[in-house]
Amino acid sequence: MGGVNPYIQKVQAAVATKPFKVTFVDEETGETTDVPVDPATFEFAPIGQEGSLLSIAEEAGVQINHTCGGVCACSTCHVHVTQGLETCPPATEDEEDQIDKAPGLTPESRLSCQCVPDGSKDLIVLIPKWNRNQVKEGHH
């Protein structure tokens, strides 16, 4: 579970009010996971900004690496929002400072812990192959 980074500007994001879908695509395997999000009933995981792509992924069991615990203190949760990016507020200066450290930047690059969709459109989120946490906890 993440905490709060008191040194960054909080994302000013509109809260989703109607259902939408996030499709996570694992670049390495090509596997897709559709996550229906109904803001009235969906339980966002308590990580990253409230309603962030990382909190949606965590709740749905989609693996996105997040070394800092979702507090915008690293760039490990970097993803590419290939569809629906316009439904998310622009990156803050703090997010831009961190994402500049990530490999493979594109115009669709965002930190999943900071990117909060407003629910007005469905999204497609590519999880880069280098982002996947190859170590699985609990395996002996």
| 72-95 average pLDDT score | 95
pLDDT tens for each residue of 13-32: 777 889 999 999 999 999 99
pTM, to two decimals: 0.86
User: In the predicted model, is pLDDT for residue 1 greater than 50?
Assistant: no
Contact 22, 112 (CB under 8 A): no
Contact 123, 62 (CB under 8 A): no
**Could you tell me the domains of the chain?**
20-131 (3.10.20.30)
61 CB burial (10 A radius; 0-12, 13-18, 19+): exposed
Give CA–CA dist 21/8, Å, rounded.
28
Mean pLDDT of the chain: 87
Tracing tokens 């507090």 back to the chain, one arrives at 71
| 54-82 average pLDDT score | 94
Query: Closest Cα to residue 79, out of 13, 93, 45, 56?
Result: 56
